[in-house]
Structure 1
Amino acid sequence: MLSEEPTARGLASGLMIANHGTPVLLELAYESWYYHLVDLSNKTVNGLMMPESYFEEFEVGDSTESKVARTISESDVYEVAGLSGSYGELHTNKEYMKKTEFGQPLVQNTLLIVIMEGLFKRVKWEPAIIAAYGRDNLRFINPVFIDDTVNLEMEIVDKERRDSGGVITMEQRLFKQNDDLAVKGEYLLLVESQSES
C-alpha cells in the first residue's frame, strides 16, 4: 500500500521543471505551501526522507487527491496566451464572451492540463517515473472560468508489466469548487520495477 504523505521527489521535480519551464509552471510551484517544507538538496519533507513507489506497489483501485486546490487567475490565462501566441476571443475578450452562452472568457484547455500536472505533484503518490507514456480519452466536460478553484482526484485503473518496469494508467478528474467535473482523462506513466532499482 502507498504512503499517505506527499513526497519530496515529486515536489522537488515540480520546482525544477518550473525553474526551467514556463512562468505558469513557476507560479504553480511557488504557490504550494509545501514549498516551504521541501529541502531540494536531499529530497526531504519536514526532515524525513521520502521513498519512491515502484510499479509493484500500485494496485488497481488505489485512489488519491491533491492536498491543495488551485485558483486560476486572469494572469494565468494571459500568460498561456502569450506563451502559445494564441489570443483567441474565447479566452481573452470579455466583451465578446458576454454575448455567448458562457458569459465570460473560458480558461484554455492547455492551461488546465498544466494545472493538472502541477496538482499531480501534490498527491500522496511518488511513482519512480521512467517517462510519461501519454494521455488518453481526455475530455473537457464543463467550462472553467477565471477565479474558479480546481482540485485533482486520481485512481489507478490499469497496470501493464513491460520489459523495463510497467505502465500505470491513472484516471484523472479535475473538479471545480462547486464539485462540477471539469476535465477527465487517463494519464499513463512508465514506472520502474522494484527489481530494477
Structure 2
Amino acid sequence: MRYEEIKVGDSASFSKTISESDIYQFAGLTGDFNPVHVDATYAETTMFKERIAHGLLTGSFVSTVLGMKLPGSNSVYLSQSFSFKAPVKIGDTVTAKVTVLEKKDPKRILKLKTEVYNQYGSVVIDGEAMVMKLIK
C-alpha cells in the first residue's frame, strides 16, 4: 500500500491459533525456555494453571500486520510499546489488529494503535507503534 493511500482510521488484522509447536519453536529461536512456557508440570503450580505463550510470540503477530498488510512491504518498524493484559494459552486464537492513529508527513511516519485480542474478544496485548513507509 502506498503511503499516500493510507488514511487515519485505516486498520488491518491477522489471526493465528497458538499451538504447542509454536511455543517450542519460539523457545528454540529465542532461547527463552522459561518453564511457564515449556513445562506443563511447573506451569500447573503457577497462577495460570497451565502453560502460556511467550508474550513476544503473541506480540510478534503485530509485526505480521505491519510488514504484510498495513502499511505493508517497504516499511520499517521504528518503535513498539506493549502492555500485556492477559495470558494466551495453547489453543487460543489471537487476532492482531493495527489502526492508523496519525500520519506524520513529510517523513512518511505512521503512529499506530496495536492490539491483540483472543477468541473471546478480550484484549491480551495493548500498545502503540511507529512505522516509516519507505519510498519504493
Percent of aligned positions that are identical: 25
> Are 1:120 and 1:152, in contact at CA under 8 Å, matched by a contact in 2?
no
Q: How far apart are residue 120 of structure 1 and its match? A: 4.3
Q: How far apart are residue 181 of structure 1 and its match? A: 0.6
Q: How far apart are residue 121 of structure 1 and its match? A: 5.2
What is the CA deviation profile of residues 52-80 of structure 1, one whole-angstrom value per residue up to 9, with x for unaligned ones?
A: 322x32222223333xx210111111111
1:57 aligns with 2:24: no
1:187 aligns with 2:119: no
* Residues in 2 aligned to 1:128 and 1:74: alpha-carbon distance in whole angstroms: 29
Aligned letter for 1:144?
V
* Structure 1: 5+ residue stretches without partners: 1-51
> Are 1:72 and 1:146, in contact at CA under 8 Å, matched by a contact in 2?
yes
- C-alpha distance 88-190 of structure 1, shift in aligned 2 (>3 A): same
* Structure 2: 5+ residue stretches without partners: none
Aligned letter for 1:58?
I
> Are 2:66 and 2:72, in contact at CA under 8 Å, matched by a contact in 1?
no
* Residues in 2 aligned to 1:160 and 1:120: alpha-carbon distance in whole angstroms: 17
1:139 aligns with 2:71: no
1:114 aligns with 2:60: yes
Q: Which residue of 2 aligns with 1:27?
A: none
- C-alpha distance 86-65 of structure 1, shift in aligned 2 (>3 A): closer
4+ residue stretches of structure 1 with deviation over 6 A? none
SS in 2 for 1:110: helix
Q: How far apart are residue 119 of structure 1 and its match? A: 4.3
1:84 aligns with 2:21: no
- C-alpha distance 95-182 of structure 1, shift in aligned 2 (>3 A): same
SS in 2 for 1:81: helix
1:146-165 paired onto structure 2 within 5 Å: 146-162=90-106, 165=107
What is the CA deviation profile of residues 15-73 of structure 1, one whole-angstrom value per residue up to 9, with x for unaligned ones?
A: xxxxxxxxxxxxxxxxxxxxxxxxxxxxxxxxxxxxx322x32222223333xx21011
Give the TM-score normalised by structure 2. 0.85
Larger Rg: 1
* Residues in 1 aligned to 2:116 and 2:38: alpha-carbon distance in whole angstroms: 22
Aligned letter for 2:78?
Y
SS in 2 for 1:76: helix
1:94 to 40, 43, 48: 40
